[in-house]
Amino acid sequence: GPDPPVQRAMWMAVVFASSHLLGRGSSALYAVGATAALMVALQPPVLLDLSFQLTLAGTLGIVILMPTISHDFLSGQRGLSGAVRDAALVTLVATLTTMPLIALHFERASLIGLAANLAVTPLFSWIMLGSAFTAVVGLVSDGLAAIIAWPLAWLPLRWLVFVAEEVAQLPGAGTTVQGFGHVHLLLIYAAILVASLRTHRERVARWTRTSDSRDVAKATALLGRIGLEVIPELRGCLRQVVVCGTVTAVAATLWLSATIELQDRLLVHFLDVGQGDSALLVTPAGGSVLIDTGERSHDTLAALRSHLPTNSRRIDLVVITHPQSDHGEALWAVLEHYDVGQVLLSAYVERTAFGRRLVDLLEQHDIPRIEAEPGRQIELAGASPLTLDVLWPPARGLPEEYRDNPNSTSIVIRARYGNAAFLFTGDINVEQELDLVRHPCANGSQPCELHADVLKVAHQGSRFSSSTLFLETVRPTLAILSAGADNPHGHPHDEVLRSLAAVGATSLLTAEHGDISLATDGTSISVTTER
């Protein structure tokens, strides 16, 4: 089925449209508010989800602002057809009411986004209806569906993408908004709410102007009319505030209770970044470590906003396990949006062009670079410190065939918090796994401690990793596989899943579950998933 953000947007649209189709446009605000409150009650953390906030802001904006803007600016205009006017109006309102949230979360605002939206708004109905019709035809004939998909779905979608790409290149397409905070957000939305009240005041004023106050009978009728119109509306508003406020307060209390319960726990989030890797570790003291960034910056930034402490703009340590785009491409975006303390790279990172770009990027941002070497420990302080042990690759003595393969030089880290351990393996191959199992650890005569409660499976579950001996040595209870849905590589491979099951590990895939979040007090580990 659709992802949770799509489901939420769908339900909002259905509730809003149903109110108008049933002739109950006046109750749309109540319906949308109740739907939002119910969503929060069922899943309290959704309150902090940006997609939910944008959906709610856009929908409420349409419900509240459309009458005001239509009355003030479009009344009396006959030149535009109703459909075109309404489409433009909806686009304007949605842009206005979501722009403050975008500025808050992204610190950017689009000066020409409204014009771009207007250019593609007429296509939305075409795309939805055309796609739905194509899907129905596809149930009967794949060949016929492929033919009609081109004009009904592909062509308008291609135009939409073209407009977005071209507009993004124009001057002023994106402007940095620095210092925009929650106070500014509240002031803007308060101003929007106050402006929307003008419509109701104008109605009362019109009643007054059309009545003769010297006529007691007319004055009485006027008061009765105002009472009949205003009092039910006020009662309706009060009911909306009480019902929605109560449900939201209960949901917020539940969410706050859960948050307080997690205050002494390490949080480990395996982020759904498609075909790539990214994991975020957050300590109870607010320290953070990002192990790989994935390739798609918008996915990574959205996940970081969801899982970092509220309003946090700092990441203490970023680890790029090896210089490949599916593990490090989004570092550019991370450095643009967050204050990064230091970055851990392997000694072999500059043997590839991508790795040299990474090093140049760090120099441009004046960010310290740490070289990974077995035996190095990095500790994030706290009542129960988080310790990162670097296990691979050796800075010296590595065979030449390993050095020229970025996967073979992936940084392997074992993270410890109390008695809980997490093993991050990058994209190492079977050969490196066997080296870790058999060869002495740095400055010792025994192999490295590899046992971990949670294993981030190497190379998205490739058949060239996850050897039986390695898995039997690690003995994970939980295995996380980060790979894109329906990826061309067939990750994760079936034999890897069977090998994990054979050692008693439960496998969770980001392609199926979205973000996978673990919480541990150092003894037990709890698991929650996005879907």
Band of residue 175 on the pLDDT scale cut at 50, 70, 90: confident
Of 115-129, 325-339, 399-413, 517-531, where does mean pLDDT reach its minimum?
115-129
Question: What pLDDT was estimated at residue 215?
Answer: 44
Q: If we measure between CA atoms, which residue out of 356, 388, 355, 393 comes closest to residue 374?
A: 393
21 is a domain residue: no
Helix (H, G, I), strand (E, B) or coil at 282: strand
User: Is residue 258 situated within a structural domain?
Assistant: no
Please work out, in degrees rounded to the nearest 5, the angle formed at the alpha carbon of residue 70 by the alpha carbons of 69 and 71.
90
The pLDDT value given to residue 211? 44
- Residue 434 neighbours by CB distance under 10 Å: 14
Residues, the chain: 531
What DSSP assignment string belongs to 224-278?
Answer: HHHHHHHHHHHHHHHHHHHHHHHHHHHHHHHHHHHHHHTTTSEEEEE---SSS-E
The answer to which of 111-125, 359-373, 433-447, 470-484 has the lowest mean pLDDT is: 111-125
In a domain, 372, yes or no: yes
Span of 143-157, 401-415, 479-493, 503-517 with lowest mean pLDDT: 143-157
Output the six-digit token pair for 276: 């790539």
Q: Yes or no: say if 90 and 122 are a contact pair by the CB < 8 Å rule.
A: no
Question: φ, ψ for residue 175 (rounded to 5)?
Answer: -120, 135
Measured over the CA atoms of residue 494, residue 498, residue 500 and residue 506, the dihedral's sign is positive
Secondary structure of residue 509 in the 3-state scheme: strand
Q: What is the pLDDT of residue 92?
A: 78
Kindly report, residue by residue over 197-247, the tens digit of the pLDDT.
Answer: 665 555 545 544 554 444 444 443 443 444 444 445 444 444 544 444 554
Crossing angle (nearest 10°) for helices 28-42 and 50-69 = 170
Amino acid at 344: L
Lowest-confidence region among 156-160, 316-320, 361-365: 156-160
In this structure, of 346-355, 365-374, 382-391, the range with the lowest mean pLDDT score is: 382-391
pLDDT (tens digit per residue) in 240-287: 444 445 544 554 544 454 444 456 799 999 999 989 999 999 999 889
Query: At 339, is the pLDDT very low, low, confident or very high (cuts 50, 70, 90)?
Result: very high
pLDDT at 204: 45
Please, what is the average pLDDT of the chain? 79
Asked whether residue 88 is domain-assigned, the answer is no
Report, as an integer, the average pLDDT of 26-43.
Answer: 72
> Which residues does residue 420 pair with via DSSP β-bridges, in sequence order?
417
The total number of structural domains in the chain stands at 1
CATH number at residue 371: 3.60.15.10
Does this model's pTM top 0.75? My answer is: no
Confidence of residue 78 (pLDDT cuts 50, 70, 90): low
- For the chain, the 3-state helix, strand and coil shares in percent, each to the nearest 5, are 55, 15, 30
Residue 466 pLDDT: 93
**Are 55 and 5 a contacting pair, CB within 8 Å?**
yes
Q: Are 391 and 414 in contact (CB under 8 A)?
A: yes
- DSSP E strand stretches across 298-398: 314-319, 339-345, 369-371, 377-380, 386-392
Res. 428: pLDDT tops 90: yes
DSSP 430: H
pLDDT of residue 213: 42
- Residue whose token pair is 């058999």: 438
Residue 432 lies in a domain: yes
Distance CA 4, CA 405 (A): 38
Q: Is 190 within a domain?
A: no
Cross-strand partners of 280: 269, 290
What is the reported pLDDT for 60?
81
For residue 51, give the 3-state DSSP assignment: helix
Q: Domain for residue 51, yes or no?
A: no
Tokens in use for 383?
Answer: 């009542």
Poorest-confidence range of 91-105, 326-340, 512-526?
A: 91-105
What is the average pLDDT across 98-121? 76
Q: Would 74 be classed as within a structural domain? A: no
pLDDT, tens digit, 9 for 90 and up, residues 277-328? 999 999 998 899 999 999 988 889 988 988 888 668 899 999 999 999 999 9
Name which of 40-44, 158-162, 213-217 the model is least confident about: 213-217
Q: What percent of the chain has pLDDT over 70?
A: 73
pLDDT band, residue 150 (cuts 50/70/90):
confident
Range of the domain at 518: 266-529
Q: Which of 32-36, 283-287, 476-480, 486-490 has the highest mean pLDDT?
A: 476-480
For the ranges 27-36, 125-134, 243-252, 314-323, the one whose mean pLDDT is highest: 314-323
